Amino acid sequence: MSQPVSPEILTPLRAPLNTLPGLGDRLSTLMAKLVGGDTVRDVLFHLPGDFLDRRASPTLREARPGMIATLRVEVISHEAPAKKSQPHRVVIGDGTGFADIVLFHAARLSQFPVGAKLLVSGKLEAFSDRLVMPHPDHVMSQAQAQNFPWIEPVWPLAAGVVPRIMRRAALGALTRLPDFDEWHDRTILDRRAWPSFSAALRALHAPAQIPDDKPAERLAYDELLARQVAFAIVRSRRKKLPGRSLHGDGRLRTAALKRFGHTPTAAQAQALAEIDADLAAPHRMLRLLQGDVGSGKTLVALLALLRAVEAGAQGALMAPTEILAKQHFATFEKLSPVPVALLTGGVKGKARTAILKSLADGTLPIVIGTHAIFQKHVEFSDLALAVIDEQHRFGVDQRLALGAKGEATDLLVMTATPIPRTLLLTHWAEMELSRIGEKPAGREPIVTTVHKLGELEAILAAIARAIAAGGRVYWVCPLVTESEVMDITATEVRFRELQARFGAQVTLAHGQQDAAVRDQALADFAAGNAKILVATTVIEVGVDVPEANVMVIEHAERFGLAQLHQLRGRVGRGAAKSFCLLLHDDKIGETARKRLTLLRQTEDGFRIADEDFRLRGSGDFLGRRQSGLPGYRLADPEQHEELLAMARQDAVLLLQRDPKLESPRGQALRVLLNLFDQREAILTVRSG
């Protein structure tokens, strides 16, 4: 008998923040923003980043300026300021000497009644040959020494939440901690010398001594294991879901390849073979097709969709933007021997009605579009394969929901951004993986060079020569309009400057334009009516102009390596020799210099992705966020890479032995899954 979805033991941790001491409605709102949630658990998961050791307790004779010290003193007297602008002073002594407490707020004088024997902690300074402590961090009666924060956690804080409030909330949250049954294997705990889950949280939020790495390591493993067990459960459920065997006679694929005019690379053939094996299997496919820029994933996706059509069913490809959807549609129209339609938000009226009708009655075999194709009113006659392109941000639940348009829909997710191994394990681990690691034959290497912005005049002269030789140029800027706080040439400013020099040969495209205006600019560039396209990263994916052979990226140091690699991949698609010019500030840091140098040295997107992840930490390697891997609170998948691999192996072995989590450890793991909000896995186990 499985536990309920929300085990009663977690009820105290699900309580709202305003049940914690010191948190009224206003502070609860501020605290929720700080800790990333509105429950007691979220306070516990907001771990300190450092610790202050206040155990140094010298006499006043021994004390020295610069020390963080806790003094055992008696209040001797108060000295009022001679002027309003001056601070109040409280004279303290301990029999070995005297010092001053300096207070800029008179309200704090009540903490220092004359004659009181106090513990006073803060940083000591020297002023006019006198030892002083400006605004002490802690003041407490010596009789309450047992309650003094001798080791003080330093939590990340935000406006309105001061250390005193955070400490009181954290201590209050610790009192709600239940005694959990252990969800880890005893051998792991003994080998790693880890404390229990509750003891680890207490060691960090209310330490008796400065903790070593063990408590934080234990909590990181808890989170990693919860995620890996969830992935393994979802993967196992996917394989158990009744699917359908899709077999084709190859006639449509043969026709498409004849139109393509080239033989697929060995890597494309291998990826297609893996996809075909999944399509032929009686369970549903859930596979990630990972390929570098220009490796030919679109052809593989088309051939996979044609297999579904050969089997008498339908296929759909979803792209995250209308630009990318249109690009896929243009490619499919050239190569597909069966009808293909484009369904986006811009398709309206009779055209939209006709597409919806043909999807519902089965006369339209393949549709390409944005998220519009998965809306409720879009019905398929028999959707057998859904392909999702460039959907980096989808979680497990969302990816599974996208395949729910058919009775037994196989799901293929594609990404053109090489994904570091660590992220594969942390964000896509419920999927099987196919990788295309080579580019089609005949692709020339892209010459990548790094330049200071001070060399702009020479670069413009080179651009003029490239255009005169028949080339076309992308010019990418990081901002749309001028910024008052960032000294970066904006897209619109650069457009006007280039237009003044090159005239009507220059066009402009960015995300804030009306879609029709932007699409026209892209069309003019593709047709050769414009020779220079000034743009933001709107051209990062989905723009394919083989004649474009020069990419200029301004302020390249402000982009992620993976994003720079994506942008560079817009050129090198034709017969002409191609170039990528990375422009940077005249003065950049050493890390930025290393990143740009790596891009100059290699076109290996997988190496670049791993290096980008290492240099930037666990931020969003796709260039959209600078910090924080989505969904992780206690673990840093880069720092804890060893633990991540261990958690994956542990999860696989565990579910082999106890697939329904019915053993004592399995029951404890149900609580862990619930604690870390792995609801999809909980419901799967419950229904199993």
pLDDT at 501: 93
Q: CA 562, CA 417: separation in Å to the nearest integer?
A: 7
Residues 396, 401, 402, 403, CA torsion sign = positive
Strand partners, 288: 413, 433
pLDDT in tens, 517-531: 888 898 899 889 999
Q: Which residues contact 332 (CB under 8 A, 6 or more apart)?
A: 302, 317, 340, 366, 368
pLDDT in tens, 560-575: 787 788 888 888 877 7
For residue 621, pLDDT over 50 is answered with no
Strand partners, 389: 414
Report whether 256 contacts 335 (CB < 8 A). yes
For residue 542, pLDDT over 80 is answered with no
Whose structure tokens read 């050239």? Answer: 334
- In angstroms, the Cα distances linking 683 to 21, 418, 427, 505, 688 are 34, 32, 20, 58, 8
Mean pLDDT of 154-163: 88
CB < 8 Å & 24+ apart, contacts of 140-149: 141/116, 141/117, 142/72, 142/117, 142/118, 143/117, 144/119, 145/119, 148/54, 148/70, 148/119, 148/121, 149/54
pLDDT at 482: 55
pLDDT in tens, 48-106: 999 999 999 999 999 999 999 999 999 999 998 888 888 999 999 999 999 999 998 88
Whose structure tokens read 């879009």? Answer: 378
pLDDT at 405: 58
pLDDT band at 559 (very low <50, low <70, confident <90, very high): confident
Q: CA 164, CA 372: separation in Å to the nearest integer?
A: 49
Strand partners, 450: 582
Name the residue among 221, 195, 200, 49 with its Cα closest to residue 642.
221
pTM for this structure?
A: 0.63
Strand partners, 434: 289
pLDDT at 459: 94
Question: DSSP character for 270?
Answer: H
pLDDT at 129: 83
pLDDT at 68: 92
pLDDT band at 232 (very low <50, low <70, confident <90, very high): confident
Note the Cα 509 to chain centre separation in Å: 27
pLDDT at 257: 95
Mean pLDDT of 133-155: 92
Of 229-238, 327-336, 660-669, the range with the lowest mean pLDDT is: 229-238
Q: What mean pLDDT value characterizes the chain?
A: 85
Q: Hey, what amino acid is at 362?
A: G
CB atoms within 10 A of CB 418: 24
Report whether 431 contacts 396 (CB < 8 A). no
Q: CA 110, CA 101: separation in Å to the nearest integer?
A: 13
pLDDT at 489: 61
Mean pLDDT of 648-653: 90
For residue 362, pLDDT over 50 is answered with yes
3-class DSSP assignment, residue 614: helix
Mean pLDDT of 252-277: 93
- In angstroms, the Cα distances linking 208 to 53, 151, 659 are 10, 6, 40
- In angstroms, the Cα distances linking 429 to 278, 394, 652 are 17, 13, 12
Strand partners, 161: none
Output the six-digit token pair for 279: 């399509």
Phi, psi of 654 (to 5 degrees): -60, -45
For residue 356, pLDDT over 90 is answered with yes
Q: CA 685, CA 678: separation in Å to the nearest integer?
A: 11
pLDDT at 544: 74
Of 16-20, 374-378, 678-682, the range with the lowest mean pLDDT is: 678-682
Mean pLDDT of 268-287: 91
For residue 516, pLDDT over 90 is answered with no
For residue 620, pLDDT over 70 is answered with no
Report whether 295 contacts 267 (CB < 8 A). yes
Region of 386 on the Ramachandran plot (φ > 0 left; ψ -120 to 50 alpha; else beta): beta
pLDDT at 631: 59
- In angstroms, the Cα distances linking 18 to 14, 146, 172, 201 are 12, 27, 11, 21
pLDDT at 449: 93
Report the largest interatomic distance among the alpha carbons of the chain, rounded to a whole angstrom: 98
| Secondary structure E strands in 144-275 | 151-154
Give the angle 519-329-531 at the CA atoms, nearest 5°.
Answer: 40
Domains (range + CATH), the chain: 1-49+155-178 (no CATH), 54-153 (2.40.50.140), 221-240+636-687 (no CATH), 251-436 (3.40.50.300), 446-616 (3.40.50.300)
pLDDT band at 285 (very low <50, low <70, confident <90, very high): confident
pLDDT at 160: 84
pLDDT at 637: 67
pLDDT at 537: 78
Q: CA 233, CA 284: separation in Å to the nearest integer?
A: 14
Mean pLDDT of 460-465: 94
3-class DSSP assignment, residue 485: coil
pLDDT at 683: 65
If one compares 1 and 197, the residue with the highest pLDDT of the two is 197
Of 74-88, 506-520, 577-591, 674-688, the range with the lowest mean pLDDT is: 674-688
pLDDT band at 193 (very low <50, low <70, confident <90, very high): very high
Mean pLDDT of 437-463: 85
- In this structure, the chain runs to a length of 688
Mean pLDDT of 246-253: 94
Per-position DSSP letters for 196-228, written without gaps between them: -HHHHHHHHHS-SS---SHHHHHHHHHHHHHHH
pLDDT at 626: 30
Mean pLDDT of 133-159: 91
Report whether 103 contacts 135 (CB < 8 A). yes
pLDDT at 472: 94
